[in-house]
Structure 1
């Protein structure tokens, strides 16, 4: 249960010709147990330095959201009223080492304290945006900084005394498990079109059901979906692969396609949403957690041809391993669906390991993924308990039998086939 909110009146202000519609600042106090997740020795030292020099510092964004959800934050990002130059001067005086100076132009200075890095960013205003990048100016107004953030649940700050500062009802929306953009949704999206995908990713983190979307949010996304064409494939892929494996991942992919997002992230017009729903439902029914399945395995469910996969890969710029998993699942999914015994999948692994010379760990992962795609829990358990046996013959042994060099690989292939038929017992 979230703490009781206190409301404080604020004036409605103007900033760079934009009206910030806000009536109340909500504040609440976290208890000491919640703050213990934040106040480690490094944070306490960081706080004392800023206080000593007359600057305010608060935890910003996602960490505040996670704390209110009862989740221990993995990372802490800090916002401050100090400018980069003021922070550098302050840290120099205090003998604090600074690293990653490339972030200064965006307002970020990274301090190294107690063997931990702390990213401290000056409060900012977006002066000009093109849907991908923003030119910023520094401010000392917490409200103006909150107004430039994407979602209300990410626009809260936490003072190191335990006070949460909530300018746009983020805590209320978090409690209601609803997702809304800060202020005008069209404006927020046009500042950075990647926020369309961030909407779906965070929906998967906080929503209580697969289709409880605010209709106005979806309409705004549909109006602005073309802007995703401006976003690099690398940035798109970071978001998409998180969406796929979060709660309601299958429903979210389908909803994204319904909103017209598909072509802008590399999915074909014919992406098979009905099969996507089928695969996710099958995994749920079989008890395979989405977190245990590779994102490419799940995405493969909507593709029907190699050409579609090639176009998708060209758009998202994924890794070689991710590319291989997609093609492998596409090629062997029907085999896994129709397999009668685990031996058929073991033979596939042997062909890859011995016939293609693939690394054993890669072979085991790829075959396991295709079994997960098919939700063949019966075969998966036996397969993961099995180790690929060592083939008892090599090229030198075949050559010693008088087989011509050009025929050795064909002879080995035939021997592997006989070895598989013997259930890997020949030569023992």
Structure 2
């Protein structure tokens, strides 16, 4: 009887334990069902997500959906961990038992748990694949919106630079002023070229986005990349023209200063003792005048009036006074050169002219002549 009671008790205990496992399995099923419902709702949200037109909204959506995805992944992790714990409890063995080691009920429970774990794994894998595609699309959209924001900022910056160059056309009225403006422009160019470099980097980023096989979103990128290249080239060219113009202005004023100094020295030279035709050393004056004329031949004013040079055209158009000043300097140089050449011809003739013969009177003839004069006076 005792043996019968023990057998009955063991059978009852087994039924109780298996009933407990059944409840755990039902809870696991309920958990899996809840995860599936969350996935269905979340998947619908992802599919219906409209891509924003600005970077901030896109980043916010990506952040929120990533957080929700991580929460679902945590639910998967908890469900799988509980499932393996339950599976181990149902088996009551550390290693996977053979079917012969399990009762029919326990074998059924183990099979049910294993099937749910496999389904959870497959569902999670499918979800990961779907999320990867969605996240890639969101991140591409974010990069695209960031590209567009950067493009607009650079576009505005280039417009400001071009306006600055249009408003700053002064070339200086002397060498020192031109050099000062050139240094200011050099410093300004350093800052502007940083944005030129940024535009080139942004163009490279745009080309990478074009090559990422998201044709649906990348349609507007190619024109913007071309515009970035055009703006960078236009600004670089304008900065170079401004710098060259200021250098040419400094050179021009330096040449004008040299020409003025030469003309002033020439006027002084012509007004000095060189105009004295009785100068006993005309050769010395001629040498000095030749050196002066040769120095004038090295003046380089004519090249500044070469209208075939685009830089000269820009310089002459920049200020009317520049063109007028060059005309006056050229006229003055011509006058001094003509007078110097005329004076040179006169000095050369004077230098080549033979002096008159000198009559030599001997002392004897002079004494006789004096004696005759004295006799005549006495008579």
TM over 0.5: no
Q: Highest CA radius of gyration, 1 or 2?
A: 2
Of structures 1 and 2, the one scoring higher in RCO (CA 8 A, sep 6+) is 2
Name the structure with the higher strand share: 1
Name the structure with the higher helix share: 2
Query: Normalising by the residue count of structure 1, what TM-score does the alignment of the two structures yield?
Result: 0.18
Query: Normalising by the residue count of structure 2, what TM-score does the alignment of the two structures yield?
Result: 0.19
